[in-house]
Amino acid sequence: MNLHEYQAKDLFRSYGIPVPAGKVAASAEEAAAVAGALGGAVWVVKAQVHAGGRGKAGGVKLARDVDAVRAAAAGMLGKRLVTAQTGAEGLPVERVYVEAGSDIARQLYLSLTLNRERGRIALIASASGGMDIEEVAHQSPEKILAANIHPAAGLQGFQARELAFGLGLSGAEITQFQSLTAALYRLYLDKDLSLVEVNPLIVTRSGALVALDAKINVDANALFRQGELAALRDASQEDPMERRASEHDLNYVSLDGD
């Protein structure tokens, strides 16, 4: 089960993982009010759909005044966003996330997922953040760094430090990276996740590490003990046939045909 970005960032905040200030909105006027409350001079308006590639599809807009925030939200809400991951029909945009702009110096990639070959959780990182990680792995596999975590020992400090060095971090950035990865690992275990991804994880010009985006997939087989997460399910983002099948404990995958 997928979560929206705003839901994932709420979880990040609860685990002490730094994210920019932001709030979800269901109307253009509400989005403008959020921007006004956040303050600042630059905001980002993001369509909330269960798909990547939003930026290239017009689902992420930079706004430099409140009127631009209102216009960006109005242009997304009530529409269907078509990205490289949605198929031709796209997904409905019922909410937008309005976020304070960030002063970006570097963009990194960070995720936790299951390495099925090793039977272990893998912490994956790359200095090529903000890009399609599958494309990076295909074209430049040497840019992908990984640490496989022993289930009994858990994530070790030396593993986080080795990845931090590989990403070119130094000084206080390494300490922040260790704290952030430890928090992500706790979140992954506590909430029965199958994926937690930060793309990009930014380094600001002041040297702070901040999760600029957040993607979370919850193991559907564990929802029976994750009631709070199950309540966050957004049926509008799911294939109707797959949703009906899941209601009857059936596995169904919708595929394109001739």
Record the tokens describing residue 137, joined without a space. Answer: 């792995």
CA distance 15 to 99: 19
Q: Tell me the sheet residues that pair with 231.
A: none
Measured between alpha carbons, how far is residue 106 from residues 37, 63, 182, 243 in Å?
27, 21, 21, 39
Contacts of 85 (CB under 8 A, 6+ apart): 51, 52, 53
Task: Read off φ and ψ for residue 162, nearest 5 degrees.
Answer: -60, -40
**How many C-beta neighbours within 10 Å does residue 129 have?**
23
Q: Which two tokens stand for residue 213?
A: 């985006």
Residues classed as catalytic:
109, 197
